[in-house]
Structure 1
C-alpha cells in the first residue's frame, strides 16, 4: 500500500483500472465514468470488451471522423470496433452476462457497503433512472465486479458505507472499489486499503466513519 500526493481524476483512475485488468479478460464497462477505461487498454492485454446492447470486441470511444451513429455502447456513446468484433441480439448479450461468461465488469455506484453490497441505479431523486436495467445482471453475473466512483458525494456524504440506504443492485457482489481518494478491496473481513491518493488511512476512517481491516 502507498499514499501519493494528489487525488486521482477520472481519466487517471480509468488508466489505473485498465492496467489492473488481467490479460485475456472479457469485460463489461458500465455507463458513465467506466467507459473511459476503454481508452487505456493496451493491445497486448488482449482484453475483449462486451456491451449489453449487443457487441463483443468494442474498442476505444470514437471521436471526430471515427464516429458512426450506428455504432454505440449501452450508454449511447459512439465507439470504435476492433478487428473480429461481432454483433448479436440484445437477449444473447444478456445471456452472456447471466451465464457467467464475463471475467470482470466495472460499474459506477451511488453507494457500496463494507460487505460489497452495491447501490447504483437510484437515489430516489426526481428524474433519476427509473429501473435497475442490466446493472443487476452484470453485478452478479461477472466473476469479479469492480466499482469506479468518487468516494464522497458532492455534499460530502460518504459513498463507501456501513449499510447502503439506496435501493440495492446486488448483494455482496463488489470485490474492489476505485475512487479519487484511494483503492479498496472488499472481502469477508471488511474493507482493506490497497492504495491511497493524497490522504491518510486515519483521515479517511474519520471521514467515512469506518474502520479498515488489516
Structure 2
C-alpha cells in the first residue's frame, strides 16, 4: 500500500542525525517536524528566518506571526533564534545546513532535480531551492513515485527545467526509498505491502535491485 504524506514524513525524519541542522522545504517536508525522535537533538531551519522550528501548534498554541516558509503556523523549540531572511540564506549558502528535504516534480538517475517550473502552468517558482541544492550537504527528495496520470517521476533524464544538477542523494516516495549513485536509482526500502515489481514498473530510469529489499519500519 502506498504511503500517506504523513508516513513519508515519518520515514524522512528517521534520516536526521543527532546535532544536525535541517532545512525543511514546503509541502511534505514540513510535516517531518512532527516526527523528529525525542532521542536526538535536531535544529530545524526555515528559510524565512527561523532556526529551531518545532512541531505544528495545537489550537491553543497558534501564533499567527510564527510561520514557516510555506506560511503555515509553527512552534519554536527551546533555544530557537529568529532572524532575517538574508541571514537565513547566508546560513544556507555558507554550507551550514546538514540536510535539506525538498519536494520535486521530477528527479533523474544522475541526481538532477526539477522542482520549480512546469511550462504553461502557474506554480510558486524557485523559492530557496536553488540555494539549498547548492549549499546543503545532503539533499533528500520527498514526492509521489508517479504523477496523477500514472507517469513516473523518477526518470532517465529530467524533462522539466532543472533546479539543481547532480545533487540529490536520496528519494523517499510513497512506494520506496532509493539512493542515487553510479547513474542509477538503487532500491533500499519498499513501502509495506508494495512489491519490487510495482516499484520497477513505475520507475522510468535505471533501477538497481540488489538482493532482498526490506520493508520500511515506522
* TM-score interval for Structure 1 and Structure 2 normalised by the shorter chain: over 0.9
- Of residues 138, 141, 157, the one that matches 2:151 is 157
Matched, 1:107 2:102: yes
Aligned equivalent of 1:49: 44
Deviations 1:74-132 (A, max 9, x none): 10000000111111111110010011000000000000000110111111243222x31
RMSD over aligned Cα, in angstroms? 1.3
Name the counterpart of 1:82: 77
1:137-176 mapped onto 2 (5 Å cutoff): 137-176=131-170
- Look up the match of 1:91: 86
Q: How does the TM-score come out when normalised to structure 1?
A: 0.93
Alpha-carbon distance in structure 1 between the residues aligned to 2:142 and 2:41 = 22
Tell me if structure 2 keeps the 8 A contact 1:205–1:211. no
1:18 maps to 2:13: yes
TM-score normalised by length of structure 2:
0.91
Structure 1 counterpart of 2:129: 135
Give deviations 1:156-191, integer Å, cap 9, x for gaps.
Answer: 111111111111110011100000110000012421
Pair 1:53–1:63, CA change in 2 (3 A) = same
Gaps of 5+ in 2: 211-218
Ranked by relative contact order (alpha carbons within 8 Å, sequence separation 6 or more), the top structure is 1
Q: Give 1:60's aligned residue.
A: 55
Q: Distance in 1 between matches of 2:204 and 2:96?
A: 37
Report if the CA contact (8 A) 2:108-2:205 is conserved: no
What is the CA distance between 1:203 and its match in structure 2?
A: 3.4
